[in-house]
A and B are shown apart, each in its own frame.
Chain A
């Protein structure tokens, strides 16, 4: 778009056009307040920065002003005071309708227009931006693919002939239509059943991996917040920030007992959900090829003091487990052992899986070990219950010193110790521990 290439872009529209729209831009709320009539302010002097390309989840009790905060960003509600900068540009200096066309907005129940087809719904913003028909049609199909709906099947359907999950996918596609740098999502998955909800969460993370938008996401669901948020803002009454940090920080170092209770801080199950397989030290099984000699493998198992080996194909993909007992008495290549020997590998997990998923896989597998695969299904290591226990203990240890500091500080008058700000020394310690773990894993 040739409009404003010379000067600094003055509007989000110009900014979006300039860098192709794709990348996220930061959102800054500076001393923002909102008061409806004469009542207490619903949002009271909120200052917060949503970093570019991150998902920030607003989590807090009903009525604390999450929706109000979100609507002030796209100016559906005007702040009583304070400033909001999107990509460094003052939202108030821009024409609201223009501004909103470059801020994706997704609400609960999707809010699709029932009298328009799926394509018609998605096309609304491009129509307002004056795109030509062909460009719009192309974009609609592209977006449907992106959100996992077959364009040929779905583009001409009316919303009432879609499931709730499909409607929400279309809602996301509609919000992404003009490739906005910023996305506001107000409890988008709140009305969906747990399975659909998890699917869509997973899809959103995948999408975000491709698109790197700046996303503000409102939810009541702690698990959803922990799963999706790069950062979580826990809000209290008046949208006061009780704690703002990464899910790990919030779990490991809840700002106060109410947060701890709210997020179930430190509980093993939460940590399992939060920790990815790629972030823990993996076990490594003895590796074998179908062509390896049985006697030789037996010796290697003995030397490694292991009970089983993983058999890999030429592409390094895990085929099956063989144990010492399977090898006992056999001879010749491993590949010609009777098919009953060992167990075929049906379940593998990837580095992106959570430890919770790893535990599920372990519970369902007939060995107490599950292989981890990387690109192209290549074997990279294995997870056992011991691996998981070890990982959880390490996370626990990282938070231990921090807790002591806080307990000590509780009696003193130093606000930093009893307030939401974690002691710097404790933080540094935690960071060191984290770094050490990473080194171990490599």
Chain B
């Protein structure tokens, strides 16, 4: 069977796995964004808390993802739970780090000006600091999306959902019929989705970044 024939012959299943993959990544990103940005907001003003938070996530980051998934089997079993946990943990670091960098990159004079005209702390955060840090945070999210995409593939190792299944099952029976096709479809599908996600983030960036602070134009 050629690759197109392979895709045609089990299009429904492949499409399902692709959607599963994308939705898993998207949901994990949402969680990572909420936790990462929230944590970043909490710690960015305090040097020690910042060091602690980034240090902890960096340590997580050094654990190979396969090992992490394996370690998570013990407490969480197989399937969705360990996959999602691992993806969120890895996606956290770039989001957290960029949130901190972004918020600390806001000119203190602007924060002072905002306080000086009577904005409350939370209003300064929402109206001034976050919008100004947003391009940097968004970059963190983009990196996180790429990471999540790749780790999502490896999640098949713990029977996680998504296109990783194609890759792993292909690799497991290499030499057999369609083994190569399966591996190729999984890999290409994930690359394609990664590109789509990236394009989506570029679009979001365009739509949500003020013209006043966009780097071009």
Determine, out of B117-125, B166-174, B188-196, the stretch whose residues face the partner at the interface. B117-125
C-alpha spacing A112/B211, complex, angstroms: 15
In the bound complex, residues from chain A placing their C-beta under 8 Å from that of B128 are: 113
B121 (CB) vs chain A CBs: closest residue: A97
A73-130: which have CB < 8 Å to B?
74, 76, 97-102, 105, 107-109, 111-117, 124-125, 128
C-alpha spacing A76/B123, complex, angstroms: 16
Known contacts A100-B117, A101-B117, A174-B117: A114-B112 contact under CB 8 Å:
no
Tell me the smallest distance from the CB of A429 to a CB of chain B, in Å.
45
Cβ A115 vs Cβ B118 within 8 A: no
Known contacts A115-B131, A124-B119: A109-B112 contact under CB 8 Å:
no
C-alpha spacing A102/B132, complex, angstroms: 26
In the bound complex, residues from chain B placing their C-beta under 8 Å from that of A158 are: 210-212
In the bound complex, residues from chain B placing their C-beta under 8 Å from that of A116 are: 210, 212
Tell me the smallest distance from the CB of A87 to a CB of chain B, in Å.
17
A229 at the interface (CB under 8 A from B): no
C-alpha spacing A122/B135, complex, angstroms: 24
Cβ B109 vs Cβ A111 within 8 A: yes
Tell me the smallest distance from the CB of B55 to a CB of chain A, in Å.
28
Cβ A101 vs Cβ B212 within 8 A: no
Known contacts A113-B110, A115-B131: A107-B211 contact under CB 8 Å:
no
Cβ B117 vs Cβ A124 within 8 A: yes
* Chain B 104-117 near chain A by CB (<8 Å), digits 1 or 0: 00000110111111
Cβ B118 vs Cβ A111 within 8 A: no
Known contacts A105-B113, A113-B114: A97-B132 contact under CB 8 Å:
no
B213 at the interface (CB under 8 A from A): yes
In the bound complex, residues from chain B placing their C-beta under 8 Å from that of A160 are: 212
* Chain A 238-269 near chain B by CB (<8 Å), digits 1 or 0: 00000000000000000000000000000000
In the bound complex, residues from chain A placing their C-beta under 8 Å from that of B212 are: 114-117, 158-160
Cβ B132 vs Cβ A175 within 8 A: no
C-alpha spacing A174/B119, complex, angstroms: 13
Cβ B110 vs Cβ A128 within 8 A: no
A186 (CB) vs chain B CBs: closest residue: B116
Cβ B118 vs Cβ A97 within 8 A: yes
Cβ B213 vs Cβ A114 within 8 A: yes
C-alpha spacing A107/B119, complex, angstroms: 16
- The CB with the most chain A CB atoms within 10 A, among B114, B117, B128, is that of B117
Cβ A74 vs Cβ B210 within 8 A: no
Cβ A125 vs Cβ B117 within 8 A: yes
Cβ A115 vs Cβ B210 within 8 A: yes
A156 (CB) vs chain B CBs: closest residue: B211
In the bound complex, residues from chain B placing their C-beta under 8 Å from that of A98 are: 118
A107 (CB) vs chain B CBs: closest residue: B113
Tell which of B112, B115, B117, B213 touches A115, judged by Cβ atoms closer than 8 Å: B213
* Chain A 152-187 near chain B by CB (<8 Å), digits 1 or 0: 000000111000000000000011000000000000
A98 (CB) vs chain B CBs: closest residue: B118
C-alpha spacing A369/B131, complex, angstroms: 60
Cβ B117 vs Cβ A114 within 8 A: no
C-alpha spacing A418/B112, complex, angstroms: 42
Cβ B116 vs Cβ A74 within 8 A: yes
C-alpha spacing A159/B128, complex, angstroms: 14
* Chain B 123-144 near chain A by CB (<8 Å), digits 1 or 0: 1000110011000000000000
Known contacts A116-B212, A159-B212: A109-B118 contact under CB 8 Å:
no
B131 (CB) vs chain A CBs: closest residue: A115
Tell me the smallest distance from the CB of B205 to a CB of chain A, in Å.
13
C-alpha spacing A76/B112, complex, angstroms: 8
In the bound complex, residues from chain A placing their C-beta under 8 Å from that of B114 are: 113, 124
Cβ A107 vs Cβ B112 within 8 A: yes
C-alpha spacing A174/B210, complex, angstroms: 20
Cβ A105 vs Cβ B131 within 8 A: no
Cβ B119 vs Cβ A128 within 8 A: yes
Tell me the smallest distance from the CB of B69 to a CB of chain A, in Å.
41
- The CB with the most chain A CB atoms within 10 A, among B109, B118, B132, is that of B118
C-alpha spacing A159/B212, complex, angstroms: 7
C-alpha spacing A99/B115, complex, angstroms: 11
Tell me the smallest distance from the CB of B146 to a CB of chain A, in Å.
27
* Chain A 7-34 near chain B by CB (<8 Å), digits 1 or 0: 0000000000000000000000000000
A48-63: which have CB < 8 Å to B?
none
Cβ A114 vs Cβ B116 within 8 A: no
A-B pairs, 10 with minimum CB distance: A111-B113, A158-B212, A101-B118, A115-B210, A100-B118, A105-B116, A115-B212, A97-B118, A115-B213, A115-B131
Known: A113-B110, A117-B212. 8 other contacts (CB 8 A): A74-B116, A76-B116, A97-B118, A100-B115, A100-B117, A115-B212, A115-B213, A128-B123
**B→A interface (CB under 8 Å):** 109-110, 112-120, 123, 127-128, 131-132, 210-213
27 contacts between A and B (CB under 8 A): A76-B112, A76-B115, A97-B120, A98-B118, A99-B118, A100-B116, A100-B117, A100-B118, A102-B118, A105-B113, A107-B116, A109-B109, A111-B109, A111-B113, A112-B113, A113-B110, A113-B128, A113-B132, A115-B132, A115-B210, A117-B212, A124-B117, A124-B119, A124-B127, A128-B119, A158-B210, A158-B212
